[in-house]
Amino acid sequence: MASVKRIGVVGGGAMGSGIAQVVAMHGIDVWLYDLNPQALSSASNSVSASINRLVSKAQLSHAEGADALKRMRFTSNLDEFREADFIIEAIVESEDIKKKLFVELDKLAKSSAILASNTSSISITRLATSTSRPHQVIGMHFMNPPPVMKLIEIVRGADTSDETFAATKALSERLSKTVITSQDYSGFIVNRILLPMINEAFFALYTGVATKEDIDTGMKLGTNHPMGPLELADFIGLDVCLSILKVLHAGLGDNRYAACPLLVQYVDAGRLGRKRGIGVYDYRKEPKSMKS
């Protein structure tokens, strides 16, 4: 495939906006699409804040920051993606909703375009079946926050071609990311290992082994993780953690992936983590401290 010149990113949430920002910061024109104008406006604000942060830390010059912003177009018109060489989907983790989007993208994207999904655990093989180009469908899993995290996990569906894989790897490396490759099994590599750890931290809290602070401090200082597992769960979103565990449980058929009842209860209560101001920790009153 010829070098990628224009990329379309679908979904103006934290992942979609972060991915679009990374693309723009590497000199590639990008559209960020979301149906909801409110989501586009908060995406635009968070990209500007992230770029300002990088400029203030001298990790990006003023000119580079301005150039990245110029390369980004925020749109509610998916038709603009007709010109895209590569499309990355980063919408809600629902197989049905993603499949509907892939049907639409398949109809409008040019025949050479690759359709990638940033899904954290949904089968790429199944998403690909909703298109007429399964060999051009692939998983491109960025980590949160995309501008900071150095990894992209590439997931090969059953029909993903070698050309699609090579083009996705080349693009990932152009974005200065390190690539790992996973076959298409539930949770891929990172979430298959990460989510059982997070779930176990919930069980430790649920069964009274320790306080949330001690569980997190134990893993931060004891194993040099930047965040403890409960703090990380709040950062990822407890609803997202639960949905990945459900995929692992259903796909791998093993009870060790069954979600901890405490995690389920928090999600039922709307305690979804940082994005809601409350999850395992309460961020509403004193955002810097970790209150219960």
List the structure tokens of 185.
């099994």
Check if 191 is active-site: yes
* 16 lies in the binding site for ligand 3HC (CB under 6 A): no
> Do 155 and 141 contact (CB within 8 A), yes or no?
yes
Query: Quick check: helix, strand or coil at residue 28?
Result: coil
* 134 lies in the binding site for ligand 3HC (CB under 6 A): no
Hey, which residues between 96 and 125 contact ligand 3HC (CB under 6 A)?
120
Q: Which of 17, 117, 118, 120 is catalytic?
A: 120
Q: Which is nearer to ligand 3HC, 160 or 191 (CB)?
A: 191
Hey, which residues between 212 and 271 contact ligand 3HC (CB under 6 A)?
226-227, 232, 236, 240
Size of the site for ligand 3HC (CB under 6 A): 19
> Do 168 and 225 contact (CB within 8 A), yes or no?
no
* Cα separations in angstroms, 264 against 192, 202, 245, 261: 18, 10, 11, 5
> Residue 258, annotated ligand binder?
no
Check if 255 is active-site: no
User: What does the DSSP assignment read for 141-196?
Assistant: EEPSSTTT--EEEEEE-TT--HHHHHHHHHHHHHTT-EEEEEESSTTTTHHHHHHH
Nearest to 195 by CA among 236, 225, 150: 236
Check if 77 is active-site: no
Rounded distance, CA 84 to CA 110, Å? 7
* 144 lies in the binding site for ligand 3HC (CB under 6 A): yes
Strand partners, 231: none
> Residue 14, annotated ligand binder?
yes
Q: Which is nearer to ligand 3HC, 51 or 84 (CB)?
A: 51
Rounded distance, CA 279 to CA 262, Å? 11
* 54 lies in the binding site for ligand 3HC (CB under 6 A): yes
Cis-peptide, bond into residue 146, ω within 30° of zero: no
Which of 145, 196, 218, 277 touches ligand 3HC (CB under 6 A)? Answer: 145
* 197 lies in the binding site for ligand 3HC (CB under 6 A): no
> Residue 144, annotated ligand binder?
yes
| Minimum CB–partner distance for residue 116 and ligand 3HC (Å) | 14
Hey, which residues between 149 and 168 contact ligand 3HC (CB under 6 A)?
149
Residue closest to ligand 3HC when measured from CB atoms: 120
Cite the active site residues: 120, 141, 153, 191
Residues engaged in binding ligand 3HC (CB under 6 A): 50, 53-54, 57, 120, 143-145, 147-149, 190-191, 194, 226-227, 232, 236, 240
